A = this chain, B = another copy of it.
C-alpha cells in the first residue's frame, strides 16, 4: 500500500519486532528472554557448543552471547565445562533444569506461532520459508557478488 511498505525490508522489520514482542510476552511466565530461549533451543539440538558457536548461530557478537549465557548459567539452566582437548574453549550444556524449562516454554511459543500462521496453507508457508531463507542468506551473498565485480 504505502510507499514505506513497498520496501519489503521494512515489512520484515515490523514483522520481526512484532513477533519478538509476542514471543517475549509468551516467555515472561517462563522467565526467559527471546535470545535466551533461542540459545536453549540451539543447545538442545547441539549440546557442547562453544560460546563462539552460539554467537555465530544466533547472529550476535561473541561478547553478547557470553553475557547472555552468563545469565543462563546464573539461573542454573546451562553449565559450562572445560573442553576436553581444546583448552581455550568451553563446552556449554543444558542442565536438567534448563532442559525442563525449555520443554515447558517450547509449546507456548509454538502455539503462538501456529496461531499466527493459521489460515495459510502448507505450500504458502513453504514459499514464505523459502523467501525468508533467501533473504537470510543475502548477506552471505554479498561476498559472492563482490568477487564477481
Contacts and interface: CB of A to CB of B under 8 A. Distances in A.
Contact of A132 (B15, B139, B140): B15
A4 B134 CA distance: 17
A109 B9 CA distance: 9
A23 interface: yes
A2 to B, nearest CB: 6
A61 interface: no
A120 B131 contact: yes
B132 A11 contact: yes
Contacts of A34: 9
Contacts of A127: 120, 124, 127-128
A34 B10 CA distance: 9
Interface string A1-22: 0111001111111111111111
Interface of A: 2-4, 7-23, 25, 34, 38, 41-42, 44-45, 57-59, 109-110, 113, 116-117, 119-120, 124-125, 127-142
